[in-house]
Structure 1
Amino acid sequence: MLLNLDPTERNLPGEALLSIRKWGGADTNLQLTIQRNQDQYYLQADGSWNSPPYGFIIDRLETHGDQQSVAVGPQVVDPLLAVNNATFMIQMQDADGHKEASVLRCARTLLGSSASGETVSPYAFGRLQAPPAPVAPEPPPAPEPEPAPEPVPIPETPVTPPAKPRSPLILIVLLILLALIAAGAYWWWSQRSPAPADPAPVTEPAAEPAAEPAAGPAAAAPAAPCDLTGFQAQNELAFVKACATSNTGTDALLETIAQAKAAGYCGVAQRLYANRGQAGDSRIALAYAREYDPKFHQANACFKEADPAIAVYWYEAVLDKDPDNALAKERLQELPK
């Protein structure tokens, strides 16, 4: 897939035409995300950049020969032009789950909406719109309160006067008699019962030594930032960010990319290529160019077809960091511009 952001025929400020070639999915009900390479942030509906991916909706692509296009407005044009020295990665996905990603190339003649000095492009958002916000369901009506029951009269009961308390002197005499009887009974019983023998000393059994805990398996070492073991698709962005910003060497990173391609993690492979290539790793950029170069291309699930235009882009990125790279020079002379 090859993506270009070009001026429209009228070339009004704030509007552009997103041109798409070699897209293999449907042309209706598409979702599109725009990510910049500086910090891996995504363009949001309000023009800001943040970490959660934000999907813009494309209702339909217009087809013109081998090229498809959709008009976009200031919602997309202005944030892209406001970022200096950045590369943008666009991923498109249709309703059937087919998705592809590629680098966006912006024309130098594009104008932001502020260039008009008066009004914004009448295209507004074109057909590239943010997904509608979900509408919260209305709460069910509160049930009407039931009427309170009428009070039932309580019949009056006659009050019985309390019994007259007994004289405290009688209670004291009774308590003294009970104490004397209990003391006499205890004396009589102690004279008849023999004294109990001393109990034999009880020897407590020796405590058995506590069994040493069985040695369990050694704690697993934390996974390396670029280790694909246990990778989950919903964590793709976090994995790519951690791997790309780690001190993993080029050879190890190329091995991770090869594993991602073999496992079908195409987003991981493409994002690692683009991130490290734009960050100045000329070997990664060279390997990415070879994925699209017809001379070196090998069809796989992530890079199904060669694309000379994309290969030229990455060979130029190689020469930006390594001006003496012989292979990049040779391929730029032979590939069509």
Structure 2
Amino acid sequence: MRVELRPLESGTPGQGRLLLKGWKGATTTLQLTIQESQDQQFLHPGKTWSTKTHSFELARLEEADAERLQVVLDSTIIDPLLELPGSTQYLLTLQDAQGTKGEGVIRLSRDLMPSSAAGSTPSAAASTALHSPPVAEKTPDPAPEPEPEPELKAPPKPEPVPVVETPPVNKTSKRGPLLFLLLGLGLLAAVAFGAWYWFSNNANTTETEPTTQENIEEEDSFEEEEIVQADNDVSEAEADLSSEENLQESSAASSAGPAMACSIEALGEQDELAFVQGCSQADMTSEALLSVIEAARDANQCGIARRLYANRAIAGDATIALAYAREYDPAYHQANTCFSSADAETAGYWYQIVLDVEPENSEAQARFEELGG
């Protein structure tokens, strides 16, 4: 199904026409789902995205021309599609009340504008003259009176300093200096005797103390080094054990990661959305994923098969896009529950996706031209 989103002829921001070519279901009571390619999330009301599926209700599709149907969409859908990066692709899924389902990648027109672009423009008839209300004249405030300068006072006169008369020195007495000299000599003799006595009694102890102190410091240092070395050995052992445990846990986690969730055996163990998300996160080759898609198709898990085809093809996997095109190509089509009839228009669209990734792909080029692309 070919899906285009174009602006209205009026160019109203936040609105657009959704054009559908190749829709084979009913034109009333429809469910519309939009999924983005970056994080595989679905559009919800309020212009939000979530991993939980949500469907918008469409009352009716109208004829746009002989080959296409259309419906007008508002900012609820237009705005969020224009907010994400330009490299984002959107997968639209349409389903009627009878279960007929179609899907296609939305081609966004460059002329679409979000509702925020509406803005507000002044009326052409509005006057450009600006009128300001009259301003009452203010009487000037009286100039402040200068403050009187402080009177200069004469510096105070210095008070007279009283003169103290010193008593006359008695020069006739000579006993004072002689007495002080004798006391000083006696004090020096006492200090010298005390120093000699202390030195003679402590000479032996000062010779042995440094050696003993050095031995004690060496023993303490040796014990500390042994303790530090023992702690280092324990830390290294614990680190090795922790590294080994982390490696085992990492190996176990990697072996039981998303790759296990995306397998043929897990097809019947999970719901559709969880399985598709697990496959989207798994690091799988194109051939491995194609085996899962074919198993889902053969098991009538049509939603899983279509979503895995579309998500991986939109992400730029040419191998998956080529296989998806063959499902609709009349030259390769094999009737099954998921792809009941050939559709040249849809096949040509996915061949075009292949050529966008691999312009030199001869098979895709030949089939695209053969189908009238």
**Unpaired segments ≥5 residues, structure 2:** 122-254
Tell me which residue corresponds to 1:115: 117
Give 1:85 shift: 0.9
Change (3 A) 1:307 1:99: closer
C-alpha distance in 2 between matches for 1:63 and 1:237: 33
TM-score normalised by the chain length of structure 2:
0.57
Q: Which has the larger radius of gyration?
A: 2
State the AA in 1 paired with 2:100.
H
Aligned to 1:24: 24
Deviations 1:94-148 (A, max 9, x none): 23333333222222322222233239xxxxxxxxxxxxxxxxxxxxxxxxxxxxx
Partner of 2:83: 82
Q: Tell me if structure 1 keeps the 8 A contact 2:48–2:80.
A: yes
Task: Write out aligned runs for 1:47-196 (5 A).
Answer: 47-64=47-64, 65-83=66-84, 84-118=86-120
Deviation at 1:271, TM superposition (A): 1.1
Residue 245 of structure 1, CA deviation: 2.1
Match status 1:273 vs 2:274: no
For the Cα contact (< 8 Å) 1:293–1:306, is it kept in 2?
Answer: yes
In structure 1, the partner of 2:349 is 313
Q: 1:279 to 1:21 in 2, by over 3 A?
A: closer
Give matches, 1:233-244, under 5 Å.
235-244=271-280
Query: How far, CA to CA, are the matches of 1:59 and 1:79 in structure 2?
Result: 21
Q: How much does 1:234 deviate?
A: 7.4
| Local SS of the residue matching 1:93 | strand
- 1:261 and 1:4 map into 2 onto residues whose CA distance is 27
Distance 2:73 2:60 in 1: 12
Work out the CA distance in 2 between the residues paired with 1:86 and 1:70. 23
| Partners of 1:101 and 1:267 within 8 A in 2 | no
In structure 2, C-alpha distance between the alignment counterparts of 1:66 and 1:330, rounded to whole Å? 24
Unaligned runs of 5+ in 1: 120-220
Residue identity matched to 1:336: G
CA RMSD of aligned residues (A): 2.5
In structure 1, how many angstroms separate the alpha carbons of the residues matched to 2:269 and 2:47? 27
Q: Does the Cα contact within 8 Å between 1:15 and 1:73 map onto a contact in 2?
A: yes
1:169-318 maps to which residues of 2 (within 5 A)?
A: 224-229=260-265, 231=267, 235-318=271-354
Alpha-carbon spacing, 1:68–1:324, altered in 2? closer, same or farther (3 Å): closer
Q: CA deviation at 1:7?
A: 2.3
Q: Distance in 2 between the 1:92 and 1:234 partners?
A: 23
Identity %: 44
Cα displacement string for residues 138-194 of structure 1 (whole angstroms, at most 9, x for unaligned residues): xxxxxxxxxxxxxxxxxxxxxxxxxxxxxxxxxxxxxxxxxxxxxxxxxxxxxxxxx
Cα offset, 1:30, TM superposition: 1.6
Preserved CA contact (<8 Å) 2:13 2:117: yes
Check whether the contact 1:250–1:283 (CA below 8 A) recurs between aligned residues.
Answer: yes
| Aligned counterparts of 2:82 and 2:4: Cα–Cα separation in 1 | 14
Query: Distance between the aligned counterparts of 1:268 and 1:45, measured in 2?
Result: 24
CA distances 1:73-95 after superposition (whole Å, capped 9, x unpaired): 11111111222211111122223
Write the distance in 1 (CA, Å) between the matches of 2:27 and 2:346.
22
SS at match of 1:277: helix
* Number of the residue aligned with 1:128: none
1:37 maps to: 37
> Which residue is equivalent to 1:205?
none
Equivalent residues of 1:6, 1:16 under 8 A apart: yes
Alpha-carbon contact 1:5-1:107 (below 8 Å) kept: yes
Q: CA deviation at 1:16?
A: 0.8
Shift, 1:230, TM fit: 5.5
What letter corresponds to residue 332 of structure 1 in structure 2?
A: F
Report which of the two has the higher share of helix. Answer: 2
Aligned length: 236
Q: Give the letter aligned to residue 243 of structure 1.
A: C
